[in-house]
Amino acid sequence: MAKTFNILGFAGSLRKASFNRDLLRAAAELAPAGSKIDVFELEGIPPFNQDLEQSPPDIVKDFKAKVRASDAILIVTPEYNYGVPGVLKNAIDWASRPYGDNAFEGKPVAVMSASIGMLGGARAQYHLRQSFVFLNMYPVNRPEVMVAFADQKFDQNGQLKDEQAKKLIVGLLQTLIAFTEKLKP
């Protein structure tokens, strides 16, 4: 029996009706055969405090363990003020600390975003990619999944109805899996 390819997915929004959380759910539904997206909710992770990094809260320990156990990472980020939301940056800070104990070390990662604006969260994605350098992560470059005018692409139940976006998500996930396989020793 073949091993399931495990992707850890998390969204940088806590809002229940977030288009980015809807986008992550769509990705989980569209995951290619033989793969699974395990969604981690960032709600409840406290603000990063370096005084606690040697013995972090249980939710942080759980998050780090899931990052380490995954084959790859999928981050879905909203764009706040041209950048990454504090909730997302905070979770990344916790999981990459203390220095020398970076759970993201060497992990392949893909990024998606959704926005009601016409850029679809592009600036947040580029901002997030800067962090991947220090985290020593391996980002998938293409296809880029930036769902612009998201309020028109999801139905009232949060279901993605845009076929082009669905194709891009499938392509991104297939690329993430293939890229991860290439990186394996």
Task: Tell me whether the omega of the peptide bond preceding residue 47 falls within 30 degrees of 0, making it cis.
Answer: no
Q: What pLDDT is recorded for position 73?
A: 98
Q: What pLDDT is recorded for position 2?
A: 67
Which CATH number is 5-183's, of 3.30.70.100, 3.40.50.360, 3.40.50.300, 3.40.630.30? 3.40.50.360
Q: What pLDDT is recorded for position 1?
A: 53
Q: What pLDDT is recorded for position 131?
A: 95
Q: What pLDDT is recorded for position 10?
A: 98
Q: What pLDDT is recorded for position 120?
A: 87
How far is the CA of 168 from the CAs of 49, 71, 86, 175, 182, in angstroms?
37, 21, 27, 10, 21
Alpha helix positions (H), the chain? 19-30, 58-69, 86-95, 122-135, 163-183
pLDDT per position in the chain (185 positions), as tens?
A: 568 999 999 999 999 999 999 999 999 999 999 999 999 999 999 999 999 999 999 999 999 999 999 999 999 999 999 999 999 999 999 999 999 999 999 999 999 999 999 988 999 999 999 999 999 999 999 999 999 999 999 999 999 999 999 999 999 999 999 999 999 87
- Where along the chain do its domains lie? 5-183
Q: What pLDDT is recorded for position 107?
A: 97
